[in-house]
Structure formats: C-alpha cells, structure tokens
Amino acid sequence: MFITPFTHHRPAGLHSVFDILAKYGDDAAVYAGGTELLLALKARVLRYEHLIDLKRVKELGGVRVENDFIGIGALATHYRIANDPVVLASIPEYASLSDGIANIRVRVAGTLAGNLSFAEPHSDPPALLAAMGATVQLVSADSERSVPVSEFIAGEFTTMREDNELISEVRVPVTQPNEAFRFRSFGHLERPAVNVAVGCKNDDGKTAFRIWLGAIGDHPIHAEKVETALRGVPRASLRDVLPAATEEFTSGLSATSDLHGSADYKRHLASVLMQRAVNEAAESASSKES
C-alpha cells in the first residue's frame, strides 16, 4: 500500500524543527531512520501531512563521553552504536545488543531514539537501558528535561515525550569495574518474544542485582521481588534460590498470547532467561573482582 501524500521538510537546525512543529501541530511528525514510522504510514495506521527529516540537524548527532556516562545522539543508528569504539569500551553489553537488532537494513537506518519514541512493545533496547540506569534527554523550543528510561515508556506506543519535544540523546552510565551486565532475548521472528536484562554489582563483597524484563508486557517490567530474593546470596548458592524466585515472579505476570507465543510460553521463557542472565552476570562480575 502506498503512503498518502505529504510535505517533506529537511530542516538544518533544532530551531527550525520546533518552528515547523509549532506551525503544523498534530499534522506533523519527525523521523530519522523512519524504520517504524514508514511501515505505519504504508499500512495507513498513521497519517501525517508533514514529515520532518532530522538527518541534517547536527545538534542531534554523534556519540560522546562526558564524565561517567555515554551520550548517544538521537541520530546515532544501531549500526553506529554497535561499532563505535567508545560504546564497545564503555558499555559493551549495549554494543552487543545493538549488533543483534532486527536485520542489517534496520540497524543501518534505524536509531535508538526512534526505537524508544515509537515504543513498540516487542523491542530489545528498553529493558537493558532500564537496568543500566540510562536516561532520555528531552528538548523543546524553550526547555530541557531528563526522564529515566525505566519511566519513559508508559505503555504500548505511548511515552512520556510531549508533542513539542524531541529526544536529543540517550545517556547511559559507563559500566564500572565492579559491574557486569547480561542481556538475553529470544523470539521466533525479528522481534523478541521476551527479553531479560540483568546488572550485577559487587560492593565490598556484597552482590546486588538489577533485573528488568522486556517485550512480555507493554513497558519494561522491574523484577524487584527477584532482586530482593537474591540479595546477599553467595554466587555458589544462586542455583538453590533462582528457580523458585523467578518462577514465582513470572507466574504472576500478565502476558498476552499472540504470534510471538502463548502467555504461558512467555512466562516460562522469562523465567529461564532470567536464570541464565543472572548466573552469567554474577560470574562476570565475580571474575572482574578477582
């Protein structure tokens, strides 16, 4: 199906972007890679009379290091992120995730900012970014604010971004020497059925976990009860605690049967992936400490 006619805008600066948005309001949409938006337009799920191409807006480009975080610009593609030396050195688990998103065509064109803005539930980045403590920087014509990724996605195709705001960059804390992250995702198609992100931190011999689930719900899910159950458990004893903790938590999760699998299948998969990711993160953090 063909896209309905629209006016194409290619501004060279942020001020021009906000002027166009203010002029056309709900009839306008911004895009960079367009991998999600163009599919929705072709399917006539969405319709806009004005599309704003952000590729020329230099303020939104690049990957940078500042203090203890990596700033990933809104125009940075998944491919750029996966192969950037700074990302590979400072947040290697996220580089690995980027290298496995969808297919090479999507990775070359699609951006992290676009992925988060579209908020398609079956997506890989949100869970790991939430576990890593990443934030989304939102800018408008006259203000700027920061929202944790863990709070940014409010529901299916719904975020905390206002209509007059853009994502300028995603800030991801640099992985510390006493930290390790593991991400596990599984699906029959290019989109995940379930994914799990685990962070493990050793602090004075004490181990603490950060565990988030993605794709099984309409927003990232924080597995706080599992984190609590694992608190203070020695790595050698994880196998005695993990199965019961993850199975109890996932049994109460709301899941929908769809083309990615039945609800029971997704809950079982979430428990299995959680156990694997926790063990791997704990082992990696322990090897760093020794």
124-172 per-position pLDDT tens digit = 999 999 999 999 999 999 999 999 999 999 999 999 999 999 999 999 9
| pLDDT number for residue 38 | 87
CA distance 271 to 219: 18
Superfamily of domain 179-289 in the CATH hierarchy: CO dehydrogenase flavoprotein, C-terminal domain (3.30.390.50)
- 1 band by pLDDT with thresholds 50, 70 and 90: low
CA distance 142 to 18: 10
pLDDT digits (tens, 9 = 90+) for 34-93: 999 988 999 999 999 999 999 999 999 999 999 899 999 999 999 999 999 999 999 999
Domain-wise residue ranges, the chain: 7-53, 59-173, 179-289
**C-alpha distances out from residue 81 to 92, 122, 205, 265, Å:** 10, 20, 33, 32
CATH level 3 topology of 59-173: 3.30.465
How close are the terminal C-alpha atoms of the chain, in Å?
58
pTM over 0.85: yes
Checking if the pLDDT of 290 tops 60, the result is: no
Checking if the pLDDT of 17 tops 70, the result is: yes
**Is the CATH number of domain 7-53 3.30.565.60?**
no
